[in-house]
Amino acid sequence: MELRLDGRVALVTGGSRGLGFAMAKKFAECGADIAIVARRADVLEEARDALAAATGRTVWAHPCDVSDRMEIDHMYRALEKAFGRVDVLVNNAGGSKTGRFEDLTDEDWLSDLELKLFAAIRLCRLVLPGMKERAWGRIINVLNIGARAPGSRGAPTHVSRAAGLSLTKILAGDGAPHNVLVNALLTGSIVTDQIERQWRREQSSLSLDDYIAEKGRRIPLGRLGTAEEYANVACFLASDAGSYVTGTAINVDGGLSPIV
């Protein structure tokens, strides 16, 4: 099965690194023009140049803190001038802030919800009218397996991600009559730059490769996933090959989640 996105425009938030970069690269390899946004302009420019050089596609990049409504509006106006539309939206921005419930402040909760939930709400509000008018659209919400199976120290991020599941289902029902498909991808343990940062923070005596191998032993498949494997699933959902899949959440976790 060949996945193609020729003639499509894909917007990926958090697109300068990790899963976002991998998804943007896969979309571009399949023929899409790409828009990536992230907070750091220098890292974003490097990602834009790397994507364009690797794929030969048009890559548009714009610094944007998606937790800020005004920055989203400004970015989207510029994007419309550049491309005129968005066919595929990937809501990928957001880290993984967790802590003891008693230690979390209102500010911790609000900042997490702004970044992971309200950013997606605001971006979907902007892209949906055009997708409905053209009778074609794809929205992919990047969540994690804690949205279904939260741990006792999973707040606030697992709460935000659980809300993202509900948002996915609501938007899928709203978009279905217009051929706008909305799905979620639930991340497990994937090798990205976050793993390397974690390794450095822990000052592990293991080499990075051994550290990654050790982390993978708790996964039923016996290893961590790759960003490219994750991007393959996202590309399927973004393409016409996934034209009868909407309103669902897919675990991309090597079998780690206890909930299907």
123 part of a folded domain: yes
Q: What are phi and psi of 8, to 5 degrees?
A: -95, 155
- What is the number of structural domains in the chain? 1
Question: Is 260 within the bounds of a domain?
Answer: no
205-253 pLDDT, tens digit each: 999 999 999 999 999 999 999 999 999 999 999 999 999 999 999 999 9
CATH number at residue 188: 3.40.50.720
190 occurs within a structural domain:
yes
Residue 70 covered by a domain = yes
Looking at residue 99, what is its pLDDT?
A: 87
- Residue 241 has what DSSP assignment? G
Q: How far apart are CA 12 and CA 259, in angstroms?
A: 27
Give domain status of residue 258, yes or no: no
- Whether 4 is covered by a domain: the verdict is no
Q: For residue 3, is it within any domain? A: no
Contact 39, 71 (CB under 8 A): no
pLDDT value at residue 57 = 97
User: What is the reported pTM?
Assistant: 0.97
pLDDT per residue over 84-98, tens digit each? 999 999 999 987 778
Spatial neighbors of 83 by CB under 8 A, at least 6 apart, are: 9, 33, 35, 60
Residue in this structure with the two tokens 């990075």, named with its chain if needed: 208
Q: Which domain holds residue 235?
A: 9-252
Q: What six digits make up the tokens of 118? A: 């309200």
CB atoms within 10 A of CB 2: 6
Q: Tell me, rounded to whole angstroms, the distance of Cα 206 from its chain centroid.
A: 30
The residues of the chain scoring below 70 in pLDDT are none
**7 dihedral zone (left: phi>0; alpha: psi -120 to 50; beta):** left
**Cα 229–241–191 angle (5° rounding)?**
10
